[in-house]
């Protein structure tokens, strides 16, 4: 059950964007599992173990149209023998051709339940509005953040990573960051690049961690969430060409892009022995590229 993934390796990036002056080491969590995006595997590991041990037959969760979390739950359910249910934000999606993420979820056997954006805000109401046979599904919150997920993410850093003074990660709900903070040493500081506006992130993180060796840096004003501006796409191509690393459009590309921007502007106030976590997220690229094509753009995300 939840067999060990491939180990994640640290890769040093030498980027012309920073003329080799800022050394960035990338932890390749995107490579630990072939089908479940890096941090999502970490977050689901103990949740699926718990669901199995407690005799649940199905797993239910929530997500938007491009959600890496939904795709990860669908994959894990398929692999470990659970029926999965996804409550999806946006009732209009039900009548449209499913985007690649949602198509993938159904291929993995996930039953999708579309609810209106208004209903989706209140997860209890959204849950009450859908009809499923299993009266006792194991429910994982949107984005997968709970105590078990945080424990899984506390296993990302290894003792060899103590050489770094700053650790950077992209933040959606904050669960991955909370796990990383839990496992840092006194001399290390965690910087979370916050890709969506969510005022509850700091308090959510504080429910899981008791030290304050962490800071949040918002990227959503500069980049927007899931917007894929041309500058960001060009940057992703540049990084892929120089290093072979494919960044994802929603999390890791905005993080590295924003970091370099701050470094160039001299507003990077954190350390220079930097470890950046590549949390994966490649599954969203197909959908983003499809949307770019539909918008008549000739730009494509590298893949």
Ligand X SMILES: *Cc1c(COP(=O)(O)O)cnc(C)c1O
Chain positions contacting ligand X, by CB under 6 A: 37, 39-40, 68-69, 143, 145, 170-177, 248, 251-252, 279-281
Which one, 171 or 260, has the nearer CB to ligand X? 171
Q: Which residues contact 236 (CB under 8 A, 6 or more apart)?
A: 246, 247, 249, 253, 301, 302
End-to-end CA distance of the chain: 30
Which one, 57 or 189, has the nearer CB to ligand X? 189
- Least CB distance to ligand X at residue 253 (A): 10
* CB 49, CB 298: distance < 8 Å: no
Which one, 64 or 137, has the nearer CB to ligand X? 64
Which one, 76 or 136, has the nearer CB to ligand X? 76
> Left, alpha or beta for 109 (phi > 0: left; psi -120 to 50: alpha)?
left
Task: Give the integer Cα–Cα distance in Å for 69 and 66.
Answer: 9
| Secondary element (H or E) of residue 239 | helix 230-243
* Nearest residue to ligand X, scored by beta-carbon proximity: 281
Which one, 112 or 253, has the nearer CB to ligand X? 253
- SS3 of residue 155 by DSSP: coil
Which one, 116 or 215, has the nearer CB to ligand X? 215
Task: Give the integer Cα–Cα distance in Å for 170 and 193.
Answer: 5
Phi, psi of 137 (to 5 degrees): -70, 155
- Least CB distance to ligand X at residue 24 (A): 17
* CB 249, CB 228: distance < 8 Å: yes
Q: Which residues contact 207 (CB under 8 A, 6 or more apart)?
A: none
Q: Please give the structure tokens belonging to residue 11.
A: 């890769």
- Least CB distance to ligand X at residue 177 (A): 6
- SS3 of residue 138 by DSSP: strand
Residue 302 CB-density burial (10 A; 0-12 exposed, 13-18 middle, 19+ buried): middle
Which one, 173 or 188, has the nearer CB to ligand X? 173
């Amino acid at each position: 059950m939840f067999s060990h993934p491939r180990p994640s390796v640290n890769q040093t990036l030498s980027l012309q964007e920073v003329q080799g002056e800022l050394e960035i080491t990338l932890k390749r969590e995107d490579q630990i599992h072939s089908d479940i995006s890096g941090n999502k595997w970490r977050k689901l590991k103990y949740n699926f173990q718990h669901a199995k041990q407690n005799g649940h037959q199905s797993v239910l969760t929530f997500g938007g149209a491009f959600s890496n979390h939904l795709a990860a739950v669908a994959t894990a359910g398929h692999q470990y023998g659970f029926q999965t249910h996804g409550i999806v934000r946006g009732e209009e999606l039900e009548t449209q051709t499913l985007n690649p993420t949602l198509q993938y979820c159904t291929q993995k056997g996930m039953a999708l339940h579309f609810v209106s954006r208004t209903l989706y805000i209140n997860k209890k109401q959204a849950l009450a509005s859908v009809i499923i046979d299993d009266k006792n599904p194991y429910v994982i919150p949107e984005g997968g953040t709970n105590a078990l997920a945080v424990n899984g993410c506390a296993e990302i850093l290894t003792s060899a990573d103590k050489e770094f003074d700053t650790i950077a990660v992209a933040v959606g709900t904050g669960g991955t960051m909370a796990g990383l903070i839990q496992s840092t040493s006194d001399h290390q500081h965690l910087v979370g690049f916050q890709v969506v506006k969510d005022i509850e992130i700091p308090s959510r993180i504080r429910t899981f961690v008791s030290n304050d060796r962490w800071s949040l840096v918002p990227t959503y004003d500069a980049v927007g969430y899931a917007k894929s501006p041309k500058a960001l796409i060009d940057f992703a191509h540049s990084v892929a060409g120089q290093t072979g690393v494919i960044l994802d459009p929603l999390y890791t590309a905005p993080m590295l892009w924003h970091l370099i921007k701050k470094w160039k502007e001299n507003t990077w106030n954190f350390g220079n022995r930097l470890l950046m976590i590549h949390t994966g997220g490649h599954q969203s690229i197909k959908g983003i590229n499809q949307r770019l094509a539909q918008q008549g753009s000739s730009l494509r995300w590298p893949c």
